[in-house]
C-alpha cells in the first residue's frame, strides 16, 4: 500500500499525537499498537517532546515532520511524497531535504518523490524519471542523466545553471563542428550518428574554461556577472555575429570579470553534447 506525505496534510485543531494517530484510529488499530507506532515515528522524526502541541505551535520544519509521521505510522510498502518542500523557505528546504534523505535510509521503504526542483531530484533520488508533458523522457541515476541527457528538454532541466545550447554545423571532413556565426570550430569528432549539416551543441556552464584568446574555441561578450562567493556565474553573448546565442559560464569566485569584457573559453571534447535540432533527441 502507498502512504502519501505532503506538508499540508495535518489537522490544525489536533495535537501532534492525535494527528499521527488519526489514520490508525480510523482503521480501529488497538490503542497500545497506536501508542507504539506513534512513539517510534516520533523518535525517528525527533518529535518526542512535541506530541501534546498543536501544529500552530510548531515551526515549518516540525509541521513537515508531523505530516511525514502521519504516513510513517501506517507502515506502508511505499511512500508518495508530492512536492513536500514547496511551502518552505530556501534554508528550511535544504534542512528538510537532508532529513528526508536520512529518513528514507533509516526506514528502507521505497519512496516516489514528485518535484519540479531539479536540486531535490538530483540529491534525493537513486533513480530519476524526467517527465515532459506526461511522457517519461529519460529514466536513470542522477549522474547518468546529468552526464548523458537523452534530449534537449532533459539537458535544460537537469543541472543548475542549465546547459548552454549553441547552433552548429558539422564540418565537411567531420573533424570538427563550426559554431554558427562565431567564426570558431570545436575540434571534436562528432559521433557516427551525427550527419553533416546542422546540429545543436550542448555544453554545461561548469565545463567551459576561461583561457587565452589563442586557445579559445569561443568568445562571449560579458553582459552580467553574478558573484555567489565560492564561484561566479558569467552571462554573455556569443561573439562573431550570426546566432548571438546566450552563454552562461561558472568560474572561480576569485576571478575578476566585469560586464563589457570579452571572455575567451574552451571546453574538453568529452564534455560536448550533440542534439538533433529538429526533434531535440541526443545524438551519439
- What mean pLDDT comes out for the span 72-100? 86
All structural domains of the chain, each given as residue ranges with its CATH number in brackets, are 2-126 (3.40.50.300), 161-275 (2.40.50.140)
Does pLDDT of 174 surpass 90? no
Confidence label for 203 from pLDDT (cuts 50, 70 and 90)? very high
Does pLDDT of 40 surpass 50? yes
Query: In this predicted structure, what is the pLDDT of residue 242?
Result: 61
Q: Which of 39-48, 87-96, 187-196, 200-209 has the highest mean pLDDT?
A: 200-209
Q: Rounded to the nearest 5°, which phi and psi values hold at 281? A: -75, 150
Q: What is the pLDDT of residues 130-161, one digit of tens each?
A: 999 999 999 999 999 999 999 999 999 999 99
Q: What is the pLDDT of residues 90-123, one digit of tens each?
A: 888 888 888 889 888 888 889 999 999 989 999 9
Q: What is the pLDDT of residues 245-265, one digit of tens each?
A: 899 999 999 999 999 999 999
Confidence label for 243 from pLDDT (cuts 50, 70 and 90)? low
Cell of 115: 518535484
Report which of residues 225 and 106 the model is more confident about: 225
Cα 104 from chain centroid?
A: 19
Query: In this predicted structure, what is the pLDDT of residue 7?
Result: 47
Query: In this predicted structure, what is the pLDDT of residue 1?
Result: 53
* Residue the block writes with cell 506513534: 38
Percent of the chain having pLDDT more than 90? 58
Lowest mean pLDDT among 68-72, 156-160, 191-195, 208-212: 191-195
pTM given for the model: 0.82
Q: What does the mean pLDDT of the chain come to?
A: 89
Amino acid at each position: 500500500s502507498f502512504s502519501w506525505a505532503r506538508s499540508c496534510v495535518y489537522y490544525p485543531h489536533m495535537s501532534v499525537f492525535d494527528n499521527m494517530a488519526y489514520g490508525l484510529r480510523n482503521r480501529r488499530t488497538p490503542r497500545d499498537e497506536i501508542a507504539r507506532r506513534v512513539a517510534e515515528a516520533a523518535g525517528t522524526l525527533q518529535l518526542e517532546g512535541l506530541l501534546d502541541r498543536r501544529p500552530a505551535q510548531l515551526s515549518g520544519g516540525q509541521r513537515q515532520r508531523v505530516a511525514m509521521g502521519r504516513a510513517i505510522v501506517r507502515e506502508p510498502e511505499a511512500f508518495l511524497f508530492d512536492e513536500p518542500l514547496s511551502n518552505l523557505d530556501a534554508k528550511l528546504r535544504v534542512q528538510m531535504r537532508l532529513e528526508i534523505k536520512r529518513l528514507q535510509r533509516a526506514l528502507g521503504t521505497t519512496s516516489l518523490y514528485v518535484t519540479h526542483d531539479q536540486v531535490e531530484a538530483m540529491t534525493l533520488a537513486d533513480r530519476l524519471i524526467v517527465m515532459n508533458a506526461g511522457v517519461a523522457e529519460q529514466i536513470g541515476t542522477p549522474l547518468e542523466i546529468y552526464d548523458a541527457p537523452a534530449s534537449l528538454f532533459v539537458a535544460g532541466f537537469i543541472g543548475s545553471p542549465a546547459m548552454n545550447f549553441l547552433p552548429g554545423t558539422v564540418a565537411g571532413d567531420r573533424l570538427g563542428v563550426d559554431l554558427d556565426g562565431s567564426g570558431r570550430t570545436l575540434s571534436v569528432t562528432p559521433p557516427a550518428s551525427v550527419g553533416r549539416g546542422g546540429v545543436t551543441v550542448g555544453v554545461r556552464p561548469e565545463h567551459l574554461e576561461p583561457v587565452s584568446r589563442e586557445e579559445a574555441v569561443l568568445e562571449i561578450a560579458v553582459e552580467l556577472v553574478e558573484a555567489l562567493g565560492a564561484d561566479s556565474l558569467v552571462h554573455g553573448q556569443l561573439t562573431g555575429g550570426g546566432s548571438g546565442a546566450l552563454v552562461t559560464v561558472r568560474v572561480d569566485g576569485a576571478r575578476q570579470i566585469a560586464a563589457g569584457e570579452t571572455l575567451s573559453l574552451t571546453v574538453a571534447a568529452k564534455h560536448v553534447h550533440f542534439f538533433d535540432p529538429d526533434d531535440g533527441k541526443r545524438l551519439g
